[in-house]
Amino acid sequence: MASAKDWLEGARLRTLPAAAAPVLVGGGAAFNLGAFSIGKSLLALGVALALQIGVNLANDYSDGIRGTDQDRVGPTRLTASGLVPARQVLAFALFTFGVAGVLGLALIAWSGHWWMVAVGLASVGAAWFYTGGSRPYGYMGVGLSELFVFVFFGLVATVGTTYVQTTNLPWWVWCAASGIGLISVALLMVNNIRDIPTDSQVGKNTLAVRLGDGASRVAYTVMIVGGLLLGAVALAGVGNTYWWLIAAALLLAGLPGAVTIAKGAKGLALLGSLRNTGLYALAYGVLVGAGLALSSAI
């Protein structure tokens, strides 16, 4: 029988900071634009966290029943390990998607932007078909996984948080959203770099498998640096005179994960980089979000 710790590992809590980060940035942008709502921001945060947990459990279920998680390194796989029946993992995944849906509908009703129901459905669809269905795009290795992470965990989560509070979306909002989008893709990349040996054996052709270990590590570094630069540009764009100091702090926050990747760590040694990349995403959310919110004051 699975313990509470097993369920927490299966939910992959290390990924939750990256889910919260776009909401922090979007909330900071809304504050800058004079339209911040703590209630709407908290609902957006709930949607983001529930979706992330749903994605993690759905992937656990889909990879587990395919047999691609049998020899995976990293957090406990509930389905593949046999700790939890597959149907139960699926039920909890659908439950968390349902929670995200209820919170999302409440947010949409509050804001009055009913067309965003389509965005919510697209988000759940992208989450499910990453490893679910007969032809999961996460197994194709053509960059769709990275593209959808960039779009949904970067642009949609950030810009959506701002949009439900104000329909004013200046260019710097999109710039800041693109920054956290790249960092979210970097989080996916380090996860897939860790799994290159096992994924290649079971036919899961992620982009990391296609690129190879060395090129994937270079791509990770480009994403980390690119996210930092986009955040700095957004802060400079709203007139924050301390953008360079925030950029320096982000550089320090990103170094631990990047150094581990650069040194060629493999397997379990990459779990630290996975954690540090998630914390880097959170640092981006806190620093860039606060920088956007307080730019008029400093």
DSSP the chain: ---HHHHHHHHTGGGHHHHHHHHHHHHHHHHHTT---HHHHHHHHHHHHHHHHHHHHHHHHHHHHHTTTTT--SS--HHHHTSS-HHHHHHHHHHHHHHHHHHHHHHHHHHT-TTHHHHHHHHHHHHHTTT-SSS-GGGT-SSHHHHHHHIIIIIIHHHHHHHTT-S---HHHHHHHHHHHHHHHHHHHHHHHHTHHHHHHHT---HHHHH-HHHHHHHHHHHHHHHHHHHHHHHHHTT-TTHHHHHHHHHHHHHHHHHHHHTT--GGGGHHHHHHHHHHHHHHHHHHHHHHHTTTT-
What pLDDT was estimated at residue 45? 97
Asked whether residue 75 is assigned to any structural domain, the reply reads yes
Asked whether residue 273 is assigned to any structural domain, the reply reads yes
What pLDDT was estimated at residue 102? 97
Asked whether residue 32 is assigned to any structural domain, the reply reads yes
Structural domain boundaries, residue 15: 4-293
Asked whether residue 152 is assigned to any structural domain, the reply reads yes
Average pLDDT score, the chain = 92
**Number of structural domains, the chain?**
1
pTM of the model: 0.94
Average pLDDT of the segment spanning 215-220: 97
Average pLDDT of the segment spanning 84-106: 95
Average pLDDT of the segment spanning 16-41: 96
What pLDDT was estimated at residue 117? 97
Q: Is the pLDDT of residue 264 over 90?
A: yes
Average pLDDT of the segment spanning 189-209: 89
Asked whether residue 298 is assigned to any structural domain, the reply reads no
pLDDT band (50, 70, 90) for residue 69? low
Asked whether residue 239 is assigned to any structural domain, the reply reads yes
What pLDDT was estimated at residue 247? 96
What pLDDT was estimated at residue 73? 65
